[in-house]
Amino acid sequence: MDQDAALETAAGVAEAVAHGKLTARTATREALDRIIRVDAGLGAMVHISAERAIDRARQIDEGPAAGALQGVAVALKDNICRIGEPTTCASRILTGWMPPYDATVVRRLEAAGAVLLGKTNMDEFGMGSSTETSAFGPTRNPWQLGSVPGGSSGGAAAAVATGMVQVAIGSDTGGSIRQPAAMCGVVGLKPGYGRVSRYGLVAYGSSLDQMGPLTRTVTDAARVLEVLAGPDPRDATSLDEGEPWTWQPSSIAGMRIGVLTRLTEGAGIQSDVAEALSKAMAWYRDAGCTLVPVEMPELEWAIPTYYLLATAEVSSNLSRFEGMRFGLRRETEELGSTIERTRSEGFGAEVKRRILLGTFALSAGHQEAYHGRARKVRHLIAQAHDRVFREVDVLLSCTSPTTAFPLGSRLDDPLAMVLSDVATVGANLAGIPALSVPCGFDRKGLPIGMQLQGPRGGETRILDAGHAYERAHPWWMARPPVAWDLQPLAREVRA
Catalytic residues: 77, 152, 176
Residues whose CB falls within 8 Å of the CB of residue 387, separated by 6 or more in sequence, listed in order: none
Classify residue 202 by its DSSP letter. P
Q: How far is CA 271 from the centre of its chain?
A: 25
Residue 108 carries which side chain, given as an amino acid letter?
A: R
Scored b (16 or more CB within 10 A) or e, 168-194 reads bbbbbbbbbbbbbbbbbbbbbbbbbbb
Element spanning 75, H or E: strand 73-77
Spatial distance between the Cα atoms of 180 and 152, rounded to a whole number of angstroms: 7
∠ at Cα 343 (342, 345), nearest 5°?
Answer: 70
Residues in the chain: 495
Looking only at the bridges linking them, the beta strands covering 187-190 and 210-215 are antiparallel
How far CA 125 is from CA of 153, 159, 400, in Å, comes to 10, 19, 21
Spatial distance between the Cα atoms of 315 and 313, rounded to a whole number of angstroms: 5
Spatial distance between the Cα atoms of 264 and 425, rounded to a whole number of angstroms: 16
Spatial distance between the Cα atoms of 17 and 13, rounded to a whole number of angstroms: 6
Rg over CA atoms, the chain: 21
Spatial distance between the Cα atoms of 436 and 186, rounded to a whole number of angstroms: 8
Spatial distance between the Cα atoms of 385 and 395, rounded to a whole number of angstroms: 9
Classify residue 398 by its DSSP letter. E
Scored b (16 or more CB within 10 A) or e, 293-302 reads ebebebbebb
Is residue 383 classed as helix, strand or coil in its secondary structure? helix
How many CB atoms are closer than 10 A to CB 132? 23
Looking only at the bridges linking them, the beta strands covering 256-260 and 290-294 are parallel
- Provide the β-strand partners of residue 294: 260
Spatial distance between the Cα atoms of 459 and 370, rounded to a whole number of angstroms: 32
